[in-house]
Structure 1
Amino acid sequence: MKKLIAILMIAFAGLATMQAQGGMDKFQVQVDGLGCPFCAYGLEKKFKEFKGIKDVAIDIETGDFTFSYPAEKALSLEAVEKQVEKAGYTPIAGGVTRSDGTIEALHGKKNQVATKSAKTVSGKTMVSGNCSMCQARIEKAAMDQVGVLDASWDKNTKILELQYDETMTSVEAVEEAIARVGHDTEHHKAHKEAYENLPGCCQYERIESKKPQR
């Protein structure tokens, strides 16, 4: 009987080890620049270099890229970010849910340089765009500006709402940054080249009254 119990314990331990080793980490990354099926194919092909990758799914419209990867290989978000860049695209945001339930984020939405204080003010401006990919690009361009605490763009109203430290930045500075990535704002128009580099789904109808951004 003792021998049987010992065998069962060893078997259960082995099964537990196999289950742990067989766990999968689930990644989700929002990628900028996926304008067509060929783009998606190129990204997927690049990630096939990660042996063991499974459940690859790419949504061209939103830029969402998801896949699963063996947990025991401990693939880092930094490695995923670099692989997206090697494929020729820009990782905007994302994260991973580890097999043990732990969640890690690729990019935080808060700018760590500025903190809420008495100098924090709110502002808003109009920004042209069409889709969720536009939203991610616009908000990232805003959040990359030192002093911006929060940025939220509504694709229906086209309004970008901001919270920022007025001693460090301004709505105009944020508009200029957004225009540089291809989106017309209330007071600044993106250069033609920046606009034409946007994925097809992001090429909004332009209003010709604004001056091009320098």
Structure 2
Amino acid sequence: MKQLTFIFALILGVVFSTVANKPGKEKEVKIKTSAVCEMCKERIEKNLTLSKGINEAILNLDDKIVTVKYNPSKTNEAAIRKVITDTGYDADNLQCNQTAHDKLPECCQKGNESHAH
């Protein structure tokens, strides 16, 4: 019986240490975008959260900053910015992918800031 208890305790210890020492603890990054409306917000958040390693993306339209929580063992800040630029928006100092930008609804393109959806 003592041996069974010891084995159970050992297995439990291994399981808990594996969970506690998860590689790639969650990180957070804030990125300035060129988003202008709710449609932009939905598009950026959706594309980010569908990307590998991204746990959460919330865009604040007041300051145009998207806060992204991600697993650094699965993605990185450069990849996150690339998702945003490939969606058609600027990401910090990186210019948007022009082809993707041109496919956005006209109201979501840069320079069209006087509207609300």
TM-score in terms of structure 1 length: 0.40
Alignment partner, residue 29 of structure 1: none
Inter-CA distance 192–141: structure 2 relative to 1 (3 Å threshold): same
- Shift of residue 205, structure 1, vs aligned partner: 2.5
Answer with 1 or 2: which has the greater Rg. Answer: 1
Inter-CA distance 131–117: structure 2 relative to 1 (3 Å threshold): farther
Alignment partner, residue 139 of structure 1: 45
Residue aligned with 2:95, SS: coil
Q: Deviations over 1:42-86 (max 9, x none)?
A: xxxxxxxxxxxxxxxxxxxxxxxxxxxxxxxxxxxxxxxxxxxxx
Inter-CA distance 187–156: structure 2 relative to 1 (3 Å threshold): same
**Residue identity opposite 2:82 in structure 1:** E
- Shift of residue 192, structure 1, vs aligned partner: 2.2
Residue aligned with 2:42, SS: helix
More helix by share: 2
More strand by share: 1
Which of 163, 188, 191 aligns to 2:94? It is 188
Question: Is residue 204 of structure 1 aligned with residue 110 of structure 2?
Answer: yes
- Shift of residue 133, structure 1, vs aligned partner: 0.3
**Residue identity opposite 1:149 in structure 2:** N
Alignment partner, residue 78 of structure 2: 172
Inter-CA distance 196–118: structure 2 relative to 1 (3 Å threshold): closer
Residue aligned with 2:69, SS: strand
How many residues matched? 91
Asked if the contact 1:150–1:164 (Cα under 8 Å) also holds between the matched residues in 2, the reply is yes
How far apart, CA to CA, are the structure 1 residues paired with 2:108 and 2:48? 17
**Residue identity opposite 1:128 in structure 2:** S
How far apart, CA to CA, are the structure 1 residues paired with 2:53 and 2:73? 8
Unaligned runs of 5+ in 2: 1-21, 113-117
Task: Give identity over the alignment, percent.
Answer: 30
Q: Deviations over 1:107-142 (max 9, x none)?
A: xxxxxxxxx976111111111111000001111121
How far apart, CA to CA, are the structure 2 residues paired with 1:200 and 1:176? 22
Bigger Cα displacement from structure 2, 169-178 vs 183-192: 183-192
Unaligned runs of 5+ in 1: 1-115, 207-214
**Residue identity opposite 1:153 in structure 2:** L
**Residue identity opposite 2:85 in structure 1:** A
How far apart, CA to CA, are the structure 2 residues paired with 1:187 and 1:167? 24
